[in-house]
Amino acid sequence: MYQVIRTEGEYEPWWFFEDWMDFIVESTEYADFQEAVVAYERAAEKLSVVYPFQKTKETYLTAYWSDGEIRFCENCDDDVQLYHGLMLLQDRKKLIQE
């Protein structure tokens, strides 16, 4: 199964830290890869309109953000950038590109 996942958190979606799933705000499953790609591209278009900055580190792993959108990080005792991540995964893991 493929998943198109949106996250909100203090780091970009390609890091896959131990707690990355805690930052999921939306997740949709697809049996077909092409359907998942279409859903990912639709979501990417919407996020691009809302957030002026974006960076894609690897295929289907993109972070979106606005300069002034910050949140307080308890662990680091400081304000940090809030990132909106968009991911297309297979079985909740990064896609293996051949």
- Write the DSSP assignment of 22-86 as a string of letters: GGEEEEEEESSHHHHHHHHHHHHHHHHHH-SEEEEEETTEEEEE-TT-EEEETTTTEEEE-EEEE
Strands 24-30, 2-9: pairing kind: antiparallel
Q: Which two tokens stand for residue 90?
A: 């297979």
Q: pLDDT tens digits, residue range 30-88?
A: 999 999 999 999 999 999 999 999 999 889 999 999 998 988 887 778 889 999 999 99
Q: Which two tokens stand for residue 79?
A: 């304000």
The predicted model scores a pTM of 0.90
